[in-house]
Structure 1
Amino acid sequence: MSCLSCCLCCPIILWPAVIGAAMYFLRKYMQGGQFIKQTNETGKVFIVTGANTGIGKETVLEIAKRGGTVYMACRDMNRCNRARDEIIKETNNQNIFSRELDLSSFDSIRKFAAGFKREQDKLHVLINNAGVMHCPKSLTKDGIEMQLGVNHVGHFLLTHLLLDVLKKTAPSRIVNVSSLAHTQGSINVKDLNSEKSYSRIGAYSQSKLANVLFTRELAKRLEGTGVTVNSLHPGAVDTELLRNWGFLQNDLGQLMIRPLLWTLFKTAKSGAQTSLYAALDTDLKNVSGLYFSDCKAKDVSKAAKNDETAKFLWAESEKWTGVGTSKVD
């Protein structure tokens, strides 16, 4: 017994054990709010963009467990089909479908929406989850800066193309995955498309602010239709979105940073919890225009409350997408 006590008191053993335990409990704490309410989604139809990995895949997995019919809208069909097969195997829910959607292409978005409408006449929840982060400057197929184009404009068009089905199915919901990064963003009204200058972080923050502004403006325009729309911050999540972080692109960076990511960042499953809360919680049936984090309503930045900026962004998004109306009919 004394030998065991000596071993436990040995600094070489004691301190690593204390540090390891501290990291474990800190990791548990950092996972944030969890959506634990039981719901039955049998008979309901969902679309989740960016559904083959990370938060999107975990969102589909949980909805599938609850009996929902889910359309996984993804750019990479090989990965989408593999993810779909894994989800079906785990849940035994055969109503999971993989469909091609490239949010950097208006043609692809229109093709996806038209194909969905040929297959379904109802849509209960649209989860605009897909995104890119901190990527080098590039343009979508339609000439829009990639982060703004994929994170906001592509989802703006997709949402509009599906509004008629959402209204027909009401009560229904739209969930826009934004980020806390919106608080650091601003809408550059003089250079919205980053033609004069470009910052990876600035463009990302602008696109996430655009998600919140779009949500708040759309909520006003959808009042009385039975369609709600809310945005959310999933948390700092260890997913493939981090692939453009330079210090993670070498072995030394991986060695040094990975333990911190493991401790301080959410898993993809935990990152999906607020999306599930916004999409499924029965208490939110009539709640619209809000922003959630850790399964709770949170305040947004001052810039996200600017109605004039929201109208400007809406008008510019209409011009880009050709939606061609300032009112949602």
Structure 2
Amino acid sequence: MSALPTFGFSTTAEEVSDALASEIAGKNVLVTGTSIDGLGFETARAIAKHARLVVITGYNAERLRLSVEAIRKDVPHANVHPLVLDLSSMASVRQVAEEINTHTTPLHVIIHNAADTSGVYAVTADGFERQMAVDHFGPFLLTKLIFQKLLASGSASWLPRVVFVSSAAIAMGPGIDLSLPNLRDPGSGSPQAQNPFMRYHETKSANVLFALGLAKRAEGRVRAYSLHPGTIYTNALKHDAIIPSMQSLGVLKDDGQPNLEFGTWKTIGQGAATNVVAAFDPRLNDKSGAYLVDCVEANEQRPAVCSDLANADKLWKLTEEVIGEEFVV
């Protein structure tokens, strides 16, 4: 491990992948939310250079096909398999989990990258507020349903990993309201519905708490991490409905372009680097549950509400109640 380079703000996902090629070799990885011009796509592309298999998911079959083609064009030897997955639908999650479980191929890493960034309040067919469904309920249920498969990939030299792409938005609000009604659906008249960024703040807080709870419950059998990828101009900031919120926060200018005075922006490649670090860097082996920023542990940037194991446990139990089944690790 002493021979590994130092990763930081400017490191790209491809640089991390190349440096950790021996860790990635032979591994099978699942990445959710992989549309072109997004972090998930770049994460999958970089990992595919060295992995045995990368499974990519998305709810739009055509965009998923384009992602597969783009990865294979850039990495001709890549073994990439697409799965249409709508994380807002628990039925879709169950169907995809069943397909994953029927294959004999092991699963070494899950990278929960997908998020609802539409900026529109909506309720799913299951009766859940859509952002929380896509960002937390869906990933929670998917992890639960394929957890035994993930566990089975463990060996003397490898512990499976689960990565949650969160955001610095966890520190930009009052904290997640851990009550059942709010978690399920705060309602069309709620502050979260009127300002989608506040719900995003809650869902990204849920990501961090889920990672913390999973790390604790797994007791060394699985490693879990959450992270802030950085401020990046991805397709997530190009939705018409989300642009006003981002302008009010100063993230975007009046013309919808990145406000360079908001902070230091990363390229998509730099933003995806921390995803690859969380999935494979052996220097994190004894840091399960950690929150990462700029490719390194940064727990001090995690607000108190997202560092509290009692909150992680409460969220876990509330989520079990919402989806109607226990997730026993």
- Identify the range of structure 1 (156-165 vs 196-205) with the bigger mean alpha-carbon deviation: 196-205
Any conservation in 2 of the 1:230–1:288 contact (CA below 8 Å)?
A: yes
Q: Which amino acid aligns with 1:312?
A: K
Matches within 5 A, 1:28-43: 32-34=10-12, 36=16, 37-40=19-22, 41-43=24-26
Matches within 5 A, 1:121-270: 121-133=105-117, 135-170=119-154, 171-185=159-173, 186-190=175-179, 191-192=182-183, 193-195=185-187, 197-199=190-192, 200-225=196-221, 227-242=222-237, 243=239, 244-246=242-244, 255=255, 257-258=257-258, 260=260, 264-270=264-270
Q: Which amino acid aligns with 2:203?
A: S
Any conservation in 1 of the 2:49–2:75 contact (CA below 8 Å)?
A: yes
Any conservation in 1 of the 2:100–2:146 contact (CA below 8 Å)?
A: no
The count of residues paired between Structure 1 and Structure 2 equals: 295
- Provide the secondary structure at the position in 2 that maps to 1:323: coil
Q: Tell which structure's C-alpha radius of gyration is larger.
A: 1
- Displacement after TM superposition at 1:168 (Å): 0.5
Q: Which has the higher helix share?
A: 1
Structure 1 pair 272/161, CA: closer, same or farther in 2 (3 Å)? Answer: same
- Displacement after TM superposition at 1:93 (Å): 2.3
Any conservation in 2 of the 1:121–1:165 contact (CA below 8 Å)?
A: no
TM-score (norm. length: structure 1): 0.83
- Displacement after TM superposition at 1:68 (Å): 3.4
- Displacement after TM superposition at 1:256 (Å): 6.8
Any conservation in 1 of the 2:224–2:288 contact (CA below 8 Å)?
A: yes
Any conservation in 2 of the 1:65–1:93 contact (CA below 8 Å)?
A: yes
Any conservation in 2 of the 1:178–1:212 contact (CA below 8 Å)?
A: yes
State the partner residue of 1:292.
Answer: 292
Structure 1 pair 295/106, CA: closer, same or farther in 2 (3 Å)? Answer: same
- Displacement after TM superposition at 1:284 (Å): 2.4
Q: Which amino acid aligns with 1:211?
A: N
Any conservation in 1 of the 2:176–2:201 contact (CA below 8 Å)?
A: no
Any conservation in 1 of the 2:9–2:295 contact (CA below 8 Å)?
A: no
**Alignment partner of 1:44 is 2:39:** no
